[in-house]
Amino acid sequence: MIKAVIFDMDGTIADSEKIAQRVTREFFQKRGIVLTRKEEKIMFGLTWKDLVKEILSSRGHEYKQSIKNTLKERYVRTMSKDVKALPGVYDLLGEISKNLKVGLATNSRHREVDIIFDKLGFHGYFNLKLARDHVKKGKPDPEIYLKTAETFSVKPCECVVFEDSIIGLKAAKAAGMKRVAIVNTYTREELEPESDLVIECYQDINLSKILALGGEDKS
């Protein structure tokens, strides 16, 4: 039986991954580093520190905290102005929050969570918000998902996770949770191997379909 639904944030409920992609691309282009499309996709779901490490090390450069800080601040400024919710997410959140526990588990820091939740009005839908600050290891490690289940006093198999990235799906899979992938930053074909269900948009999912992932049907 499904008792809790856990959402990733960036690219899953807030369309912020594309902002991060654009800001990162422009930031490194000005520094003479041109990212390939493959590199940009690999970066989805990583923490800012890991993202900058990956880019710099692939070009033979040492990681510098100052570069990460400058990039992240540029993203936060842009995101706080431009971020939008994914279409249909409010209707789904409204439906499931009346019936199940709803949590957030993100590789973003708590500061970014607050900015997005304040701007998009998500606070009333969530019983719990966990950010990168609250765990020792970020995704793809399953720690943040396991901690969410523990806080909710539910078993991992009683949780459904919504994710848009391969890294996030792998974290949820390692935690032993059911996984719904939304097509946003990856294609359906890329998401299917790591998912129990792939949706094109939130109009494709409802409470009954979520409960059915645990073998229950309320239709």
Quote the CA–CA distance of 145 and 167 in Å, as a whole number. Answer: 13
Indicate the SS3 state at residue 175: coil
Nearest to 56 by CA among 71, 41, 77, 73: 71
Q: What is the DSSP string of 182-215?
A: ESSSS-HHHHGGG-SEEESSGGG--HHHHHHTTT
Clarify whether 8 is annotated catalytic: yes
Per-residue burial over 81-103, b if 16 or more Cβ lie within 10 Å, else e, is eebebbeebbebbeebeeebbbb
**Bridge-partner residues for 160, per DSSP?**
5, 178
What counts of helices (H) and strands (E) characterise the chain? 10, 6
Q: Which of 8, 10, 15, 164 is catalytic?
A: 8
Q: What is the largest CA-CA distance in the chain?
A: 56
Catalytic residue annotation: 8
